[in-house]
């Protein structure tokens, strides 16, 4: 994802790469970010210390892990730098810590930066409102073998959209796996199925299964470039905004 972002920034006419970060044990440390992304030398060396180069950027794009995002948010809050965050897998306590910085900086968060996926959220809400309790709902997601959280942040967000539209509680109605004699399906269930394998970029399907028919709404990411382009749109949207929390709903409004 980092390489895709560097490539997209390099191709953008209105953005410039100011800094690039990796974890402390990354073999990329000290190397030119442009060389790593195969776009040529950009004069930006990969660092593990955002605080040391905080004056080199106005907005940071973060696709990492919850712990790394929280550490970066602390640096950005102290320096007044805006953030675009695509990291997923936060625990509730971690989300609270992250959002506490929104009184100091503009923070754009989305479990999926794809514009298409965010349109999927809207379509799913509309279908759920129309179909109601007459159908069973299932969320099926697939990602590459190296993805560390499951279900995906996007799948969880789809579940939240369904729960809101159907007046259900995701904390009690979600079912994340089935095995053995499970009995008949409860109508309130919001089911999740997770697939991990190969180099699958990302696929999400919402299944509305009724009597005699079913409706499926699917988004398939064919490359990471769509996530990068969505993140750049978020950068342009949030740059110069006052402190607060922003999302794709704000961008697409």
Model confidence pLDDT, tens digit, residues 44-84: 999 999 999 999 999 999 999 999 999 999 999 999 999 99
- Count up the domains in the chain and report the number: 2
Model confidence pLDDT, tens digit, residues 131-148: 999 999 999 999 999 999
Task: Tell whether the model's pLDDT for residue 163 goes beyond 90.
Answer: yes
Q: Give the residue among 155, 167, 175 at the shortest CA–CA distance from 218.
A: 155
Task: Tell whether the model's pLDDT for residue 89 goes beyond 90.
Answer: no
- Residues 137, 204, 85, 74: is their CA dihedral positive or negative? positive
Residues 23 and 103 in one domain: yes
- The whole-number pLDDT of residue 232 equals 96
Q: Which residue has the higher pLDDT, 111 or 213?
A: 213
Compute the distance between CA of residue 1 and CA of residue 219 in angstroms, rounded to an integer: 19
Q: What is the mean pLDDT of residues 230-238?
A: 96
Residues 82 and 122 in one domain: no
Residues 195 and 244 in one domain: no
143 has catalytic annotation:
yes
> In the Cβ-directed half-sphere of 236, how many Cα atoms lie within 13 Å?
13
Residues 46 and 131 in one domain: no
Write the CATH number for 162: 3.30.360.10
147 has catalytic annotation:
yes
Residues 105 and 229 in one domain: yes
Residues 215 and 229 in one domain: no
Residues 51 and 88 in one domain: yes
- The whole-number pLDDT of residue 88 equals 87
Long-range contacts of 130-136 (CB under 8 A, 24+ apart): 131/208, 131/210, 131/215, 132/166, 133/166, 133/187, 134/210, 135/208, 135/209, 135/210, 135/214, 135/215, 136/185, 136/187, 136/189, 136/191, 136/207, 136/208, 136/209, 136/210
Range of the domain at 39: 2-109+225-252
DSSP state of 241: P
Model confidence pLDDT, tens digit, residues 204-229: 999 999 999 999 999 999 988 888 99
3-state secondary structure of 94: helix
Catalytic residue among 23, 99, 101, 147: 147
Q: How confident is the model at residue 111 (pLDDT cuts 50, 70, 90)?
A: confident
Residues 75 and 95 in one domain: yes
Q: How confident is the model at residue 27 (pLDDT cuts 50, 70, 90)?
A: very high
Write the CATH number for 11: 3.40.50.720
pTM (global) more than 0.75: yes
- Identify the residue whose tokens are 């997601």: 141
Residues 164 and 215 in one domain: yes
- The whole-number pLDDT of residue 101 equals 98
- The whole-number pLDDT of residue 252 equals 86
Catalytic residue among 81, 101, 143, 219: 143
**Helix crossing, 115-131 with 153-166: angle to 10°?**
30
- The whole-number pLDDT of residue 223 equals 85
Residues 174 and 234 in one domain: no
């Amino acid at each position: 994802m980092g390489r895709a972002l560097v490539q997209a920034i390099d191709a953008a006419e209105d953005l410039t790469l100011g800094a690039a970060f990796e974890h402390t044990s990354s073999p990329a440390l000290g190397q030119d970010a442009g060389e790593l992304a195969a776009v040529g030398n950009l004069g930006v060396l990969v660092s593990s210390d955002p605080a040391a180069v905080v004056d080199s950027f106005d907005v940071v794009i973060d696709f990492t892990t919850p712990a790394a995002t929280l550490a970066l948010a602390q640096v950005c809050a102290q320096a007044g730098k805006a953030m675009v965050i695509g990291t997923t897998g936060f625990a509730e306590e971690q989300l609270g810590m992250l959002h506490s910085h929104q009184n100091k900086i503009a923070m754009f968060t989305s479990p999926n930066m794809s514009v298409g996926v965010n349109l999927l959220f809207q379509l799913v809400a509309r279908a759920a409102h129309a179909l109601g309790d007459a159908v069973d709902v299932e969320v099926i997601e697939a990602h590459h073998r190296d993805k560390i959280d499951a279900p995906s942040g996007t799948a969880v967000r789809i579940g939240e959209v369904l729960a809101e539209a159907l007046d259900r509680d995701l904390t009690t109605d979600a079912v994340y796996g089935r095995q053995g004699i499970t009995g008949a399906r409860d109508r309130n269930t919001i089911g999740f199925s997770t697939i991990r394998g190969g180099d699958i970029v990302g696929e999400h399907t919402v299944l509305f299964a009724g009597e005699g028919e079913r409706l499926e709404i699917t988004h398939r990411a064919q490359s990471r470039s769509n996530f990068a382009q969505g993140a750049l749109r978020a950068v342009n949207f949030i740059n110069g905004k006052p402190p607060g929390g922003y999302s794709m709903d704000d961008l697409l409004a």
